[in-house]
Amino acid sequence: MYKHGIEVEEKATAYEQPMATRYGVQVIIGTAPVNLAEQVLVNKPVKVSSWDEAVKAMGYSDDWEKYTLCQSMAACFQVFKVYPVIFINVLDPVKHKKSNEASDKAVSNHQVNLGRDIIMSSVVVKASSEGEASTKDEDYMLSYNDSGELIVTLLSTGALYAAEQINVASDSLDPSMITETDIIGSRDMETGEETGLETIRQIYSRYGVVPNLLAAPGWSHKPNVGAALMEKCRDLNGIYRCECVLDLDTSTKKYTECGAAKATAGYTDPHAIVLWPMVLYGGKKMYYSAVYAAMASYYTANNGDVPYMYPSNKLLGVDGAVVSDGTEVVLDQPQAAELNGDGIVTLLNDGGWKAWGNNTGAYPEVSDPKDRWIGCRRMFSYVANYFILQFRNRLDGLMNRNTIDDVVNAFNIWGNSLVSQGRCAGLRMEYRREENSEEDLINGRVKVRIYFAPYTPMEYIQATEEFDMNTLRNTIVGEEEAV
């Protein structure tokens, strides 16, 4: 068709799709404004796959200091857009609350704003302090606004509609009542009830996923919580393993003092990734562990769901670095390297704020590459978990050589695929007859060996500059001859 003129067509809006992961799943434990949630969930792992799901399940507040899970919600679904994430809220509105004495509130446009943190079910409205309680949904209705404030709206069909003031009593969530013990949790031997970090055991049974990164922003800088997180990294459900992301206490203001602070806290486990300082996002302080865990999960999802990429030198999407009192932290490369030498991951502003560091908390005491390097440690955990998950369906089959060869060959096909994709240098399995005694075989036990070579990071490049006198001399001589 012949065209002459201007034409406009519309294209469907393109939304950035979040990245899905199975082997980079984060488990975040802390506090949430559950008064805003659709259902109050306490000490229960909750799997969410989007911002909307997280808000419905946990509620959301910009007060990240009181409601620590909210900063991970922002990091996972606003900064990096990765899912799923498993949240564990320990704030119980039945126990962790304070009473607000009944008081008179001025009415404006038939409404009263009670403020944040109010537990809706606790509100009692009266015409006056001496009066009888009014009836919800007949005399008034309650609703939260976008800021999380509870609004009392007087209904035109009720007895309070013309009131200039009303008397209100209520309870508020009190996150300050949460202690390290609530985060660490326990298991009641009589009832079997589990709380805090003890509920991590339920995750695989509930959702069929194995945790990859454990974090507790706002709490992991406390040594008792950090110790509990490190302990949980081994033998999840008796068989799985993972890593944890720990914040170093940012009351430590000097980078030169961080190594000693790390040693005092005991953050020296190979499964621990130790971070300092805090970060700024949207003008607010955020614990580094919230955004680092989201970033590491994102790059796992973005690289074939294999955690072979080192999280160092990757953009964090944050605006700055600070310590707990808000003092700005600006490190140069030698200063950041000093922290790395103490087994601490920090961040640098180099064309944007980036994570900086490849060593686990075990360094410098431990030099074994599988326990020193973050990428190697995550890959060893990944291969172990993958083998268990993918080959458990071979259990209880007939004990014969064909079955054993089937396992070994299938594993080696997978290992070769990782090598061909450049995700590791080598991965293979062997069955050795001499390591499998008759007693083992009779008792249904088979031993195999896995040989694994993940890549170490190219952390340092040295170039030597030299003045090339010969080239200069030849150039000058050539110019003279040309004249």
Cα Rg of the chain, angstroms: 29
Mean pLDDT for 209-234 is: 97
Q: Given phi > 0 = left and psi -120 to 50 = alpha, else beta, which region is 208?
A: left
* SS3 of residue 28 by DSSP: strand
Secondary structure of 14-31 as H, E, C letters: CCCCCEECCCCCEEEEEC
Task: State how far Cα 148 lies from the chain centre.
Answer: 24
Alpha helices, DSSP H only, in 302-427? Answer: 333-341, 369-372, 374-391, 401-420
In a domain? residue 408: yes
Q: Are residues 228 and 204 in the same domain?
A: yes
Say how far residue 455 (Cα) sits from the centre of its chain. Answer: 24
- Give a yes or no: residue 377 inside a domain: no
- Determine contact, residues 80/314, Cβ cutoff 8 Å: no
How far apart (Å, rounded) are the C-alpha atoms in residues 68 and 262?
Answer: 22
Domain assignment present for residue 216? The answer is yes
| % of the chain exceeding 90 in pLDDT | 93
97 pLDDT exceeds 50?
A: yes
What span, in angstroms and rounded, lies between the C-alpha atoms of 170 and 327? 37
Q: Assess if residue 11 is contained within a domain.
A: no
Count of H-run helices and E-run strands, the chain? 13, 21
Same domain, 237 and 142: no
In angstroms, the CA 52 to CA 252 distance is 36
User: Distance (Å, rounded) from C-alpha 117 to C-alpha 99?
Assistant: 11
- Domain harbouring 25, CATH code: 3.40.50.11780
Backbone angles phi, psi at 478, to 5 degrees: -60, -35
Does residue 446 share a domain with residue 339? Answer: no
The 10s digit of each residue's pLDDT in 35-85 is: 999 999 999 999 999 999 999 999 999 999 999 999 999 999 999 999 999
Q: 383: which 2 tokens? A: 């291969």
CB 429 within 8 A of CB 410: no
Sheet holding 111-113: strands in order across?
111-113, 150-154, 140-144
Judgement on whether residues 146 and 250 belong to the same structural domain of the protein:
no
Helices (H), ranges, 392-468 = 401-420, 438-442
**Domain shared by 160 and 236, yes or no:** no
Distance (Å, whole) CA 91 – CA 34: 8
- How many whole angstroms separate alpha carbon 475 and alpha carbon 392? 70
Q: Phi and psi dihedrals of 265, rounded to 5?
A: -75, -20
Domain range for residue 114?
A: 97-173
Beta strands 85-89 and 26-30: pairing type? Answer: parallel
Within a domain: 273: yes
* Residue range 288-312, pLDDT digits in tens: 999 999 999 999 999 999 999 999 9
Q: Which of 157, 173, 189 is the last residue of a domain?
A: 173
Residue 203 lies in a domain: yes
Nearest alpha carbon to residue 247 among 280, 281, 277, 291: 277
Residue 385 has pLDDT above 90, yes or no: yes
Cβ-based neighbour number of residue 309 at 10 Å: 18
Residue where one domain finishes, among candidates 173, 189, 215: 173
* Residue appearing with tokens 């709490």: 219
Query: Does residue 206 lie in a domain region?
Result: yes
Query: Is the pLDDT assigned to residue 14 strictly greater than 50?
Result: no
Nearest-angstrom CA–CA distance, 184 and 247 = 16
Both 329 and 292 in one domain: the answer is yes
Q: Are 54 and 17 in contact (CB under 8 A)?
A: no
Asked if the model's pLDDT at residue 478 lies above 80, the reply is no
Using omega within 30 degrees of 0 as the cis cutoff, is the peptide bond preceding 334 cis? Answer: no
**Whether residues 405 and 426 fall in one domain:** yes
pLDDT (mean) for 417-441: 96
Judge whether residue 191 has pLDDT over 60: yes
Token output for 341: 């030498």
The count of domains in the chain is 3
**Burial class of residue 122 (count of CB atoms within 10 Å of its CB; 0-12, 13-18, 19+):** middle
**Which whole number is the average pLDDT over 359-374?**
97
Phi, psi dihedral angles at 70 (to 5 degrees): -70, -30
Distance CA 300, CA 441 (A): 38
Residues 151 and 225 in one domain: no
Domain membership flag for residue 8: no
In sequence order, the 6+-apart residues with CB closer than 8 A to the CB of 308 are 375, 379, 418, 423, 424, 454, 455
Q: What is the pLDDT of residue 480?
A: 56
3-state secondary structure of 95: coil
Q: 216 and 144, same structural domain?
A: no
- Split at pLDDT 50, 70, 90, the class of 106 is very high
128 shares its domain with 142: yes
User: DSSP assignment of 302-331, as one string?
Assistant: TTTT-TTS-STT-B----EEE-TT--B---
Residue 177 · residue 84 · CB < 8 Å: no
3-state SS class at 13: coil
Biggest alpha carbon distance in the chain?
112
Q: What is the average pLDDT value for the chain, to the nearest integer? A: 95
The predicted pLDDT at position 11 comes to 65
Same domain, 119 and 37: no
Considering 146, 173, 200, which residue would you say is the last residue of a domain? Answer: 173
Residue 314 phi/psi, 5-degree rounding, is -110, 140
User: Do residues 290 and 405 share a domain?
Assistant: no
pLDDT at 279 over 90: yes
320 token code pair? 């700055």
